Amino acid sequence: MASQDQTIVLITGANGGIGFELASQLLASASYLVLLGSRSLEKGEAAVQDLRSRNLPGKVELVQIDVNDVESIEKAAEGVKEKFGRIDALVNNAAIAGTIPEPPSPSDLYTVLTSSFLTNATGPAVTTLAFEPLLSASTAATPRIVNVTSGAGSIKMRLDSSNPHQKMKVVPYRASKTALNMVTACQAYEYGERGWVCVAFCPGFTASGLSDMNKEEHGAKPTSEGAKPIVDILEGKRDAEHGGYLNATGQYPW
């Protein structure tokens, strides 16, 4: 069991990339218990072993959770309830790039668009609902929800000819992240009345393993830089931006 003064943070998709780095940064403080969410039990166990081998002050536990599978989500929530009784923050980080060949066939678009929405929008919405009772049981003054999104989900920037990334198609990724942004807005409206903070956060082009392009040799920034602002959000440094579509230095237009 976690002590009452430990902040319990569940991070989905945390066996690698930004989720793993976020876990590592949080574990630098003994005040955190990180629940490392992983779809793959094998990869999750390896990630937990790696973090524990670093002798960081915080504590880490594995939670097997597949955000594409409602039974997996509900099982994970029940397991966390039985073992810890609460969480204080949820980071919906698990995502897929949703890459399709060019030019795509109707079948290609249907398959990838469907899977992208399931992982990038439906998954976070269902996960939040499943863990809502555990957030309600939080001992923190302000429970927090962070939905890891992308600037690619901005409708305004997609139509802005001055945007250097306007020509980047990635329709399934863009559309699913736009949907996640609306999920965030709905959560912010509902949970804001309870005093919770809920935001969408874009870490920027980061060496996260999301796709073959998300590597430093292609200009992506280090994973540590993508994760650090999420630590700030979890530590209450951006609470005034509740309901926002945030990036490292400000907010994106919806």
Residues 6+ apart with CB under 8 A from 197: 142, 143, 144, 145, 233, 236, 239, 242
Specify the residue for token string 């650090």.
228
Contact 181, 200 (CB under 8 A): yes
- Give the pair of three-digit tokens for residue 149: 């999104």
Q: In whole angstroms, give the CA distance from residue 208 to residue 219.
A: 12
Which one is catalytic: 43, 81, 110, 173?
173
- Give the pair of three-digit tokens for residue 14: 């945390």
Which one is catalytic: 177, 191, 245, 252?
177
Contact 119, 148 (CB under 8 A): no
Does 173 participate in catalysis according to the annotation? yes
For helices 223-234 and 17-26, angle between their N-to-C axes, nearest 10 degrees: 50
Does 177 participate in catalysis according to the annotation? yes
Q: Are strands 32-38 and 144-148 parallel, antiparallel or unpaired?
A: unpaired
- Cα end-to-end distance, the chain, whole Å: 40
Return the active site residues.
173, 177
